[in-house]
Amino acid sequence: MIQVQGLSKEYDGTRVVDDLDFEVRPGVVTGFLGPNGAGKSTTMRMILGLERPTAGRTLVDGRPYAELPDPLRRVGALLDPQALHGGRTARGHLRWLAASNALPKRRVDEVLAQVGLTDAADRRIRGFSLGMRQRLGVAAALLGDPPVLMLDEPVNGLDPEGIRWIRTLLRGLAAEGRSVLVSSHLMTEMALTADHLVVIGRGRLLADAATTEFIDRHGRTRIRVRAVNPEKLSALMRDSGLDAEPVDGGAWEVSGAEPERLAALAAAGGVVLYEIAVQQDSLEEAFMRMTADSVEYRAVAA
């Protein structure tokens, strides 16, 4: 379990993390979302004791990171995959980590296999692609078999097979009862991976909710409907005060009505429907709507 309590961070008087409170619970994957510059990496660095908070604190299994007896056995982290010693081999890097943290040497080959790097184990890291570095970073995070995992943008640089692999791995680790915090900008991926979301914007907590609840609350639900006679359907909906918008192929999108009401209305008016479907916004759409006011860097149309 990770606990973030009243956490704030200022750089030169600018507050980049602002009074954050949240928990990362065991048994679920918690997605950490926010626009660029929202303060996700800074928060993760504070959890790992790499930055000192201006106020508040972070706890891993009830203790500040600096007080954990065997940190690599308590929390595994992937922060910056580029921050690796290029002259070492993958196996050499992991052996050095294992030795300096008193972890059993056999773990090195176990995690290399787990991340699919066995064949590249004796190659120098400087020749690794970004995706291979990500895999090596994940291997390092898993080395101490920790109950808590924290990964900053782990799918960055991975191909579709790699992305799917990370998803399966993280969900499996959570199913084993571990606490998993993962940040990503890939919303479709987060919707598939994370059970729970912590969303921040400009350093402040915007949402802390189950993924499905977040989409329900911040996304829109519309009904897509098509009729044999679209004009007649349109007139019926207009007379009933329904908010309907024409879309492609003679279909209409209706907000603020249940499918039952719409179907009953059409039946009563003698209109035959051949398509009626409830459409829910994706996580990406829900996220864009909710963070619209918190986006710091945005392209502006010329």
DSSP class of residue 188 equals: H
Burial class (CB in 10 A: 0-12, 13-18, 19+), 40: buried
User: Is residue 154 part of the contact set for ligand ATP (CB under 6 A)?
Assistant: no
| Residue from 42, 184, 211, 291 in contact with ligand ATP (CB under 6 A) | 42
Q: Which is nearer to ligand ATP, 10 or 253 (CB)?
A: 10
Q: How many residues bind ligand ATP (CB under 6 A)?
A: 10
Strand partners, 63: 60
Q: Which of 181, 124, 113, 125 is nearest to 153 (CA)?
A: 181
The minimum distance between CB 49 and ligand ATP, in angstroms, equals 15
User: Is residue 11 part of the contact set for ligand ATP (CB under 6 A)?
Assistant: yes
Q: Which is nearer to ligand ATP, 12 or 119 (CB)?
A: 12
Cα dihedral 289, 293, 297, 299 in deg (nearest 10): 60
User: Is residue 37 part of the contact set for ligand ATP (CB under 6 A)?
Assistant: yes
Structure token digits, residue 138: 């994940």
User: Is residue 84 part of the contact set for ligand ATP (CB under 6 A)?
Assistant: no
From residue 88, alpha-carbon distances to 78, 91, 259 in Å are 18, 8, 61
User: Is residue 16 part of the contact set for ligand ATP (CB under 6 A)?
Assistant: yes
Cα 171 from chain centre: 12
From residue 231, alpha-carbon distances to 109, 187, 235, 271 in Å are 67, 37, 6, 10
| Residue from 3, 8, 30, 41 in contact with ligand ATP (CB under 6 A) | 41
Q: Distance between CA atoms of 89 and 121, rounded to whole angstroms?
A: 7
Q: Which is nearer to ligand ATP, 16 or 187 (CB)?
A: 16
Q: Distance between CA atoms of 97 and 298, rounded to whole angstroms?
A: 40
Q: Which is nearer to ligand ATP, 40 or 107 (CB)?
A: 40
Q: Which is nearer to ligand ATP, 37 or 131 (CB)?
A: 37
Q: Which is nearer to ligand ATP, 97 or 166 (CB)?
A: 166
Span 97-136, contacts to ligand ATP by CB under 6 A: none
Q: Which is nearer to ligand ATP, 11 or 96 (CB)?
A: 11
User: Is residue 147 part of the contact set for ligand ATP (CB under 6 A)?
Assistant: no
Pairing of strands 29-33, 179-183: parallel
Report whether 88 contacts 136 (CB < 8 A). Answer: no
| Residue from 31, 34, 162, 219 in contact with ligand ATP (CB under 6 A) | 34
Q: Distance between CA atoms of 185 and 80, rounded to whole angstroms?
A: 15
Span 200-259, contacts to ligand ATP by CB under 6 A: none
User: Is residue 76 part of the contact set for ligand ATP (CB under 6 A)?
Assistant: no
Q: Distance between CA atoms of 36 and 16, rounded to whole angstroms?
A: 12
The minimum distance between CB 51 and ligand ATP, in angstroms, equals 8
| Residue from 21, 27, 36, 67 in contact with ligand ATP (CB under 6 A) | 36
| Segment contacting ligand ATP by CB under 6 A, of 29-37, 64-72, 168-176, 227-235 | 29-37
Structure token digits, residue 199: 């969303």
User: Is residue 38 part of the contact set for ligand ATP (CB under 6 A)?
Assistant: yes
Strand partners, 75: 148
Residues near ligand ATP (CB under 6 A): 11, 16, 34, 36-42
